[in-house]
A and B are shown apart, each in its own frame.
Chain A
Amino acid sequence: MKVENGIHPLKRFYLFYHDGFKQMKLGKILWKIIFIKIFIMFFIIKPFFYPTAKFKNSSEKEKILKIESDFLGPLNK
């Protein structure tokens, strides 16, 4: 990698983001909102209200059998 102005490209990459985040004003509020939202979605809503459904946890064969019985259900009535 080419060293420019005595700064290694990886360090320049790091500084780009570091300085960018540091200089943010409105951005800081927005990032807080994003993190709160993601926390609510992934750590509250998903595990508590969207536990992995029984169907989703089934094996492929079980899923096919379940869908088959659902699809062919009306004929068996």
Chain B
Amino acid sequence: MDVNQLAQVDWARAQFALTACFHFLFVPLTLGLSFMIALMETLYYWKKDPFWLKATQFWMRLFGVNFAIGVATGLILEFEFGTNWSKYSWIVGDIFGAPLAIEGLFAFFLEATFFAVMFFGWNRVSARFHLFSTWMVAFGSNLSALWILVANGWMQYPAGTYFNIDNFRNEMLSFSQVLFSPVATFKFIHTVSSSMVVSALFVMGICAWYLIKKREQIFAKKCMVFASSFGFVAALAVGMTGDGSAYWVAQTQPAKLAAMEGLYKGSKGAGLTLLGIFNSDKKIGDQQEAYSFDIKIPYMLSFLSQRDFNAFVPGLEDLVYGNPENNIMGAVEKIQKGKEALNSLELYQRAKKAKDEAGQLKAKETFDLNSRYLGYAYLEKPESIAPPVAPVAHSFRIMVGLGFYFIVLFAFVIYVLRANQLEKYPWLLWLSLFSIPLGYLASQLGWVVAELGRQPWVIQDLLPTAKGVTDIEKASIQVTFFLFLILFSVLLLAEIRILLKQIQVGPEAKH
């Protein structure tokens, strides 16, 4: 790919992806480790065992490093909304406003207030109030994530709103429909549980390093039992919520599901591709096979996506060209409806300017009939509805594979530690250590599937990504892209260095 050929929208996307991926290096540890610390402190409060106090304070120190380096990086995303995505921000403003404002309040009041008590409050407030503060930090940071994910969930499935044709904005009809949309709900639970897995791998990996170095052995073994048990439960929850998420993807974003599976031709009783070599040259409508080799579980895709072993699962070609036999409207027809919506929008504006009330009413009726296809009017060709299949399919498969690997790893670590047979499996310690980055990889790939998989839409079916970008110079976005790359790299190196130093010092040091 020639970088000079990239359009302004590509640079705006690249910059947003860079910032979001960097921001999400810190978020999972904040979300998951906060609960682990709260549980450790609860054990200390309950059992009065000083071991759990030492464990709480050590992991709290690493939590603090991660939080400090990551804090405020999310604000850069908000700069980008304003500058690079101002049209998008206008169109979604009312929907994003409420969740993001609540997020700000939660972040400020819950996290900021109780964070200070959590770090400064040892021996200065009662043990009970300190424990309460630690739990409040855990709930506060996770509730902050809830509002961000509600906003993201709405972009994937714009429920509870309508498009106001007078001001070209989406406006809220029902806050509860936005908040409790199944897409947002599963997205939140899946993100939180996967963050718990990342944190459990982090704690387990560091404990493994202590054991490899034959340091802090009692501390490391006990924390490893704790982390592997916590991680095992969280990893099972990730599997269950992942299933729920995929089900709702099938209902609301069938092109994303088809891309995740590399499914071009739909079928009844569709099989789930377990392993495969994807043919990257495959194009919609050609005669090539999507996989040069694959292993499928028969009927499983139909069951997982429609809860029926014999249900029809549409492939990309069905979604592009339509499949009347299975009641699938194709993008060809949707583009036509989108153009009718756009045409009626123009007629409405003309009638409004001419103060022609009857004309306005008629145009609005036509618009309302077709408004859910509005975004299709801007697509150049029906094939544009397909996300980039190869990166989505590969990311999905690696993420799911890692998810199963984590379940097995946690279960095996629990078994080995319970049976006191760690000496028999020295490689398990190395495996645990090198699994720390795998947790982050799975987490990032999850976002690749979610965000790349919904292309070409920035708001599903309503606004293509290219229509949301601001008319600014490509060079401005390029400069800030590289500026952020440098800033983020420096911050990441600082975090890794400080974390490594703290791990080297060990649990005995004071913060």
A residues with a Cβ closer than 8 A to B are 16-17, 19-21, 23-27, 29-31, 33-34, 37-38, 40-41, 45-46, 49-50, 53, 55-56, 60, 63-64, 66-68, 70-72, 74-75
8 Å CB contact of A50 from B61, B82, B124, B502: B82
- Contacts A17-B116, A20-B116 known; A26 to B65 CB distance under 8 Å? yes
A-B contact pairs, 24 of them (CB 8 A): A17-B116, A19-B124, A20-B116, A20-B119, A20-B120, A20-B124, A21-B120, A23-B120, A26-B511, A29-B498, A30-B69, A33-B68, A33-B491, A37-B487, A40-B487, A41-B79, A50-B79, A53-B472, A55-B87, A55-B90, A56-B82, A68-B349, A72-B349, A74-B378
The verdict on B173 contacting chain A, using a C-beta distance below 8 Å, is no
The chain A residue sitting closest to B471, CB to CB, is: A55
The distance from the CB of B471 to the nearest CB of chain A, in whole angstroms, is 8
**Bound: A27/B116 CA distance, A:** 11
CB-CB contacts of B86-125 with A at 8 A, as 1s and 0s?
A: 1100110000000000000000000000001001110010
Across chains A and B, the number of contacting residue pairs, with CB separation under 8 Å, is 104
Chain B residues lying within 8 Å of A66, measured Cβ to Cβ, are 87
Chain A residues lying within 8 Å of B91, measured Cβ to Cβ, are 67
Stretch from B28-36, B70-78, B134-142, B220-228 at the A interface: B70-78
Chain B residues lying within 8 Å of A60, measured Cβ to Cβ, are 167
The verdict on B494 contacting chain A, using a C-beta distance below 8 Å, is yes
Chain A residues lying within 8 Å of B71, measured Cβ to Cβ, are 34
What number of B residues sit within 8 Å (CB to CB) of A?
46
Q: Which of A30, A70, A72 has the most CB of B within 10 A?
A: A30
**Bound: A71/B502 CA distance, A:** 54
**Bound: A39/B51 CA distance, A:** 40
The chain B residue sitting closest to A30, CB to CB, is: B68
**Bound: A37/B69 CA distance, A:** 9
* Cβ-defined contact, A75 with B346, below 8 A: yes
The verdict on B64 contacting chain A, using a C-beta distance below 8 Å, is yes
| 6 additional contacts (CB under 8 A) given A55-B86, A64-B168, A72-B346 | A24-B511, A26-B64, A27-B511, A45-B487, A49-B476, A53-B470
Q: Is the interface of B mostly helix, strand, loop or mixed?
A: helix
**Bound: A25/B124 CA distance, A:** 18
**Bound: A70/B498 CA distance, A:** 48
**Bound: A76/B377 CA distance, A:** 13
* Cβ-defined contact, B87 with A70, below 8 A: yes
* Cβ-defined contact, B65 with A30, below 8 A: yes
The distance from the CB of B179 to the nearest CB of chain A, in whole angstroms, is 27
Q: Which of B65, B168, B470 has the most CB of A within 10 A?
A: B168
* Cβ-defined contact, B72 with A34, below 8 A: yes
Chain A residues lying within 8 Å of B68, measured Cβ to Cβ, are 30-31, 33-34
The chain A residue sitting closest to B342, CB to CB, is: A75
**Bound: A33/B68 CA distance, A:** 8
The distance from the CB of A40 to the nearest CB of chain B, in whole angstroms, is 6
**Bound: A75/B346 CA distance, A:** 8
- Contacts A37-B491, A55-B87 known; A25 to B510 CB distance under 8 Å? yes
The verdict on B480 contacting chain A, using a C-beta distance below 8 Å, is yes
The verdict on B444 contacting chain A, using a C-beta distance below 8 Å, is no
* Cβ-defined contact, A33 with B487, below 8 A: no
CB-CB contacts of B466-478 with A at 8 A, as 1s and 0s?
A: 0100111000100
* Cβ-defined contact, A68 with B483, below 8 A: no
* Cβ-defined contact, B72 with A37, below 8 A: yes
Chain A residues lying within 8 Å of B498, measured Cβ to Cβ, are 26, 29-30
